[in-house]
Structure 1
């Protein structure tokens, strides 16, 4: 039986292994254990893990800023692609955000992550934005 449950800090090592073997996922220092735990604490119960008999099938990190939801690292392990697991994770994440009054969400997808781009293009209600540019900072003034 496939179950979806909230991600816990002790899931970090298994998730890190999943992210490392998944094309299109780029890991950053923010994916290390301490920032990961801080993210879970700031967004309690929102990030989701999909498993069967303690076997990790997929996951998504979910958070919000009070106005918009943000999805990170929506991944289903390659052997389980095509079973609708990513859509299940996505729908549950959006339902949880809606319960908090968050009705608009964003996801950032690397431009060379073709499989991920194809997934998001195929999702009803999601569209690529062409009216904005994303700028990032490490917080260090130079």
Structure 2
């Protein structure tokens, strides 16, 4: 049976292995152990892992900036996809956001990641064609 549990720093190595093996997950310095640990501390109760018999098979990160929530790194091990694990992770996160009275959440998907686009559309998310993302490297 799959368990949805809070993401803890102890899950980091297994999560990183999953992310590295998941096409469509973009990794950067913001995904170091130190950065993820700080992210988890800033966003308690919003980050989740899926485990089967202690084996990490899925992840979802979520951050809240006081106005909007942002979801990152939804990943499910290929052997366990299409079993509702991704949906369960998202639902757990959205339940918590509703408890916090967060009104809107956003996420980022690579435009060529059609599998992810299809998943998010099937779960009620919609693209925002009037918006573009812009970035700036502060350091």
TM-score range, shorter chain: over 0.9
Q: CA deviation at 1:30?
A: 0.2
Equivalent residue pairs, number? 139
Show the counterpart of 1:139: 138
CA distance in 2 between counterparts of 1:43 and 1:98 reads 14
Instruction: Provide the secondary structure at the position in 1 that maps to 2:51.
Output: strand
Query: Cα RMSD (Å) of the superposition?
Result: 0.9
Distance 1:119 1:8 in 2: 25
Measure, in 1, the Cα distance between the counterparts of 2:98 and 2:66. 11
Match of 1:32 in 2: 32
For 1:111, the equivalent position in structure 2 comes to: 111
How far apart are the structure 1 equivalents of 2:24 and 2:89?
Answer: 18
1-structure distance, mates of 2:100, 2:137: 29
Partner of 1:55: 55
What TM-score comes out, normalization by structure 1 length?
0.94
Equivalent residue of 2:26, what SS?
A: coil
Distance (whole Å) between structure 2 residues aligned to residue 45 and residue 37 of structure 1: 13
Could you say what secondary structure the match of 2:45 adopts?
Answer: coil
Q: Which runs of 5+ in 2 are unaligned?
A: none
